[in-house]
Structure 1
Amino acid sequence: MTTLPPLREVIARHGLSASKALGQNFLFDEQLLDRIAAIPGSLDGKDVLEVGPGPGGLTRALLRAGANVTAIEMDRRCLPALAELAEAFPGKLKVIEGDALKIDPKTLFAGEYHILSNLPYNVGTALFTGWLSGEAWPPQWASLTLMFQEEVARRIVAEPDTSAYGRLAVLAQWRSKAKLAMKVHRSAFTPPPKVMSAIVHVVPREAPEGVSMRVLERVTEGAFGQRRKMLRQSLKGVPGALDALEALGIDAQRRAETLSVAEFVSVAKALTKA
């Protein structure tokens, strides 16, 4: 196995420090990083996308696991450290300088790939919802293993009738399975963030037939946009929604957080057909 210098040594040599503006927090614990890389199962010989690798802590773990890694990094300061890592694992690491929000992963891979990332806090939710969106399903990615602030992670896996349940939970769960895979204490990072973190693991499942993603988004946006109000009020701006509730036997006096993912999907399906 390739012997690498300690991450702290690499960071010191390149004069790197985590950028608050870029939402960076570095992980140095090699055992923890190996555990994260193991969450999706064997990655030996598989294609992996990593966003925001920074100095390459998780990247190392992915490469040790045998993955073929494509990493997108917009912090030019980190590129020399990543270049050294690419030299240590010939042909296994491709680094792209750029903004992940502006790059379509489907253009980077010919076939199936996994996404693993300690996501920058300031763009994590936007990237996640982008990967979940799109009418075509199943997606090209086989799994998402992503680090979020724990509060965001809990919103992704939340169940109905809980304070964390909202649009993000419906979006994540209507055609995929999401679970909280691991909590990560703030002390594991340098510098330590103010909040705890957690890793969410998502795998796609068969999408409900006859449901438009765009329609579901409109329904959840209306319902949760005024979550304290009854559905008869919050959904009155969505054409046909109140009629759909009546046809489906869903009480319009309920509030958004009481509806299951399946109920939201049934409303969207009715509106998609309309």
Structure 2
Amino acid sequence: MSTVLLTMAFSAVGCGEMANPDEQNNPSTTPEEVTAQSAMSLATFQTLANVSDNTGRCVGGNTVSFCNGELDYAYLIGLITVDAYNWGRANGYYPVIDRYDTIQAICKCGCFEAETSILTQDERGAALWTKAKDIKSGMSLMSLNEGVSLSSPSMSIKPLKALTRGKEGPALHVFKLDNGHILKVTQHHGMLLSDGRVVAAHSVDVGAEFVALDGSLVKVTGLDFEFTQDEVFNFEVGASDKSGHFIAAEGVLVGDLAWQNQLAREVGSIAVRK
């Protein structure tokens, strides 16, 4: 498999390359416009994101805090345009930058603690709780059926569209649940509440209610914070509607990777009817 390498002009990384004659004779050209001419465009950024997703280039994806830091760096040194930067922030993609400030790929981020039990399908087609760290490309996950209500939920098998993994700097949010389970996620993970809203994990407090696979309510009875040296993981299923992007973790419905990426702007709104 060939490595994608995109070489940027010296002016994009602040090495003092002289402006071309057209730029010198056009005083109306702004510094931002000059940078945009050499930086990676939104179209190229999106194309590489699709290539990376489909070639396995991003098996070592990272978490939101890391992704945003790489996006900030790439934009500040002129490797990407503001449109590419904004799209990356909104959709959870970041540039993989080598030591020569060259973009090698565009990858996704991610966010379950390694030991988290995720509902998958075994080789015989039966439901199986699997640790996040043991889920591999090609497996299938159980996710919420589109169009159902939280009072009468049902699950179906969906293919695993994307898998990300990486280190996490900030502390994990550790939710103690009254179903006897402990759920550990990163701070930006999309959490489905009993009223049908999706909120980031850092917005959830003791007393909040999640939804079990049978529609019953699961209360958060305790909240702690825990740093980890292990990788964290996230998964995106192939769902056709936003309500299908909920998977099962530690006995409750939780947003998949799409709620950190494509659906991030809808966090806080009603995602599933009661």
TM range (shorter): under 0.3
Using CA pairs below 8 Å that are at least 6 residues apart, which structure has the higher relative contact order?
Answer: 2
Q: Which has the higher strand share?
A: 2
Q: TM-score, normalised by structure 1?
A: 0.25
Q: TM-score, normalised by structure 2?
A: 0.25
